[in-house]
Amino acid sequence: MYALSVKKIHYHNPQIIVETGPTYDHRILLCKRAIAPRFRFWTLPAGLVENGETTEDGAIRECYEECLAKLKEVRLFAIFDIPRINQVYLFYRARFTDPSYSPTAESSEEDLLDASSIPWGGLAFPVMTMALRRFLSARSARNFRVYEAID
């Protein structure tokens, strides 16, 4: 009779975070966080992908959970690998189905901002700053090829 030794393996996989840059009339929606981390800082609608959903579906869901906004023309725009904090960000550009949005338990305030009104010093995470700058640059150049970066 052989005794089987069972080892438990615990994987520490990176988190996959999806975010959207919802636009309406060349303005982009930002949300003020009502939750930790970075409480009261501005962010794009973002969150973790859940099991059983695509990253695009996760981005759409997170946007609705954070600001009750419904999206159309959702397209992958950028991938940011951040191995030092075990995260991968997927940034989707999108448009509103209609320009309605509202605060939720996750965000205390939302605003559609033009590029000159973005509170750059009040953004919650460095990757948000990178994503927004890259998006605004691509939009002005009308060049929306998928961008990849490692930080």
pLDDT in tens, 13-66: 899 999 999 999 999 999 999 999 999 999 999 999 999 999 999 999 999 999
**Superfamily (CATH H level) for 15-150:** Nucleoside Triphosphate Pyrophosphohydrolase (3.90.79.10)
101 has pLDDT over 70: yes
Q: What is residue 151's predicted lDDT score, i.e. its pLDDT?
A: 82
First to last CA, the chain: 52
Residue holding tokens 């069972």? Answer: 6
Angle, vertex CA 121, rays to CA 24 and CA 95, nearest 5: 15
DSSP state of 104: B
Q: How far apart are CA 66 and CA 109, in angstroms?
A: 10
Mean pLDDT of 114-135: 96
Q: How far apart are CA 25 and CA 61, in angstroms?
A: 22
What's the predicted TM-score (pTM) here?
Answer: 0.88
pLDDT confidence bin for 2, thresholds 50/70/90: low
Structure tokens at 48: 């973790």
3-class secondary structure per residue, 77-88: EEEEEEHHHCEE
Strand-pairing partners, residue 109, are: 32
3 has pLDDT over 80: no
Q: What is residue 84's predicted lDDT score, i.e. its pLDDT?
A: 94
